[in-house]
Amino acid sequence: MRSARDAESRPRRRLRALAALLAAPAIFGCEKLPDIPNVPPVASFIYTPVSPINAGQTPVTFNASASRDADGRIDSYIWNFGDGTPEETGGSPVATHVFPDTAARCIEITYTVLLTVVDDKGDRGSASQTVKVTELPVPGSVDCR
């Protein structure tokens, strides 16, 4: 008697399991969490010295340590010094740069330095600052007069 009942209920149990399986996507489909969007990094930097910066002479240290990524980390720092030199990419937040000595004399040239930081998800953030570079007088001459 017992075995007969078992035999009868087995297909019914299978049917119930199948129904649950088919219903599962409908029940859990709407509960599937959406992908959490990445928070892009925020770029920030300082540089020293600020003045005087002499063309072809003064090494300027740029420090992007204040850059942040709220939900991850910054993998690379891309520096565009705005003076025609190639972009510099590195994993360190600190870069040193000497602005080129151009043919110009006795003037101040303003360059725009652009920093782009890339986080561990490949998203980017940028910040820029202007840097004033002094073109010195012709070598040998005392001043610009």
Q: Tell me if 6 contacts Ca ion by CB under 5 A.
A: no
**Is the CB of 84 or the CB of 122 nearer to Ca ion?**
122
Tokens of 75: 């993998």
Binding status of residue 42 toward Ca ion by CB under 5 A: no
Quickly tell me which residue has 């340590």 as its tokens: 65
Residue 124 is a binding residue for Ca ion (CB under 5 A): no
Q: Does 108 bind Ca ion (CB under 5 A)?
A: no
Question: Is residue 119 a contact point for Ca ion (CB under 5 A)?
Answer: yes
Q: Could you say whether residue 72 binds Ca ion (CB under 5 A)? A: yes
Please give the radius of gyration of the chain, using alpha carbons only, rounded to the nearest integer: 32
Task: Tell me which stretch binds Ca ion (CB under 5 A): 33-41, 58-66, 78-86, 96-104.
Answer: 33-41
Stretch that binds Ca ion, among 22-30, 61-69, 81-89, 100-108 (CB under 5 A): 61-69
Between β-strands 46-48 and 59-63, what pairing exists: parallel, antiparallel or unpaired?
Answer: antiparallel
Closest distance to Ca ion from the beta carbon of 35 (Å): 13
Q: Does 75 bind Ca ion (CB under 5 A)?
A: no
Provide, rounded to whole angstroms, the least separation between the CB of residue 86 and Ca ion.
27
Binding site residues, Ca ion, CB under 5 A: 38-39, 69, 71-72, 119
